[in-house]
Chains A and B, each alone.
Chain A
Amino acid sequence: MTWALAIHGGAGSMTRANPGPAGARDALAQALAAGEAVLVEGGAALDAVEAAVRVLEDAPEFNAGRGAALSYDGVAELDAAIMHGATRKAGAVAGVTATRHPVSLARAVMEQSPHVLLGGAGADAFAVAHGLEPATQDWLILPERRAQLEIMRAKPDGAFDVEMKFG
């Protein structure tokens, strides 16, 4: 059996005429390198996916962690999940607002609680109680995401634009 890793940074309306953020390819390469470093040493798939996603959560080019899309009220409300194929154990969080790496919080839910999915303020409290690295909204939110939200809110029906996620 040979190790392998695949990643994504979101699907959307990127074209050669409208390529999206310049640093995206570099961030993808760094995420692959982080996961590969685990696998090439015989490490577990679970550690590899967490390592790769953490890089992408920190990359401002993608809609996750720092650089996430904003809710109608201008809040970075983050969701994440992780799953282990051998045991089908899984952990997930929804609507968290104060953790740097939601994927690691999801893993903590999987490994340090009897639950699968925690949401909102409870999930934020779980992060604090289990020592996950915090992040402020100021750190999570980028100016271009605020601008994107203003454009969206200016629309008469205020409908969100799925295609404008750019990952």
Chain B
Amino acid sequence: TVGAVARDAAGGLAAATSTGGVTGKRWGRIGDSPLIGAGTYADDRACAVSATGSGEFFIRTSCAHEIAARIRLAGEDAATATETVLAEITAMGGTGGVIVMPLDGAPFWRFSTKGMYRGRVTADQAAEVGVFDDE
């Protein structure tokens, strides 16, 4: 699974996700990526999110929308909202990660796996990429 979240100079947000699903999927199994609100969500009132991981858990928690809703309705900061929702997914037995673009400030990621292919670049910060959890 691959994804991107962006904020433009006007403050507009967007999110996108694309995937082949999981190896050996059967019976027309669809994961969270194409489900708006599960693996992909963008709302200029809150944040933009793209997710990757065991899709069924991201669907059941409506992960991407839940993060945005906690920010918009509960006034949580983006990191707290993200960590709370990922902790719910972990408690259910799911694994994976998200990239999050807040309304202002730097984008960030959280993941519960050993690694996550990721990168970011901002108007103020040079491009950086990472794979392992300790970099």
Which of A's residues lie within 8 Å of B, judged by CB? Answer: 1-16, 19-20, 24-25, 28-29, 31-33, 35-36, 39-40, 42-46, 48-50, 52-53, 56-57, 62-65, 67-73, 76-86, 88, 90, 92-95, 101-103, 106, 116-117, 119-120, 145, 148-149, 152-153, 158-165, 167
Contact = CB atoms under 8 A, between A and B. Distances in A.
B120 A4 contact: yes
A19 B135 CA distance: 13
18 contacts: A3-B7, A3-B9, A10-B116, A11-B97, A14-B117, A25-B131, A32-B121, A36-B127, A56-B4, A62-B117, A68-B19, A72-B26, A79-B19, A80-B16, A81-B15, A90-B40, A162-B22, A165-B22
A77 B34 contact: no
A79 B18 contact: yes
Nearest to B94: A162
Contacts of B4: 5-8, 31, 35, 48-49, 52-53, 56
B66 to A, nearest CB: 15
A72 to B, nearest CB: 4
Nearest to B127: A32
A87 B24 CA distance: 36
B121 A1 contact: no
A50 B5 CA distance: 9
Nearest to B24: A160
A12 B3 contact: no
A6 B12 contact: no
The winner among B11, B12, B100, B124 for most chain A CB atoms within 10 A is B12
A5 B5 contact: yes
Given A86-B13, A167-B2, 14 more contacts: A4-B122, A5-B7, A5-B120, A6-B5, A29-B127, A32-B120, A32-B127, A79-B30, A81-B16, A101-B18, A103-B16, A162-B22, A162-B53, A165-B1
The winner among A8, A44, A103 for most chain B CB atoms within 10 A is A8
Contact of A78 (B19, B42, B96): B19
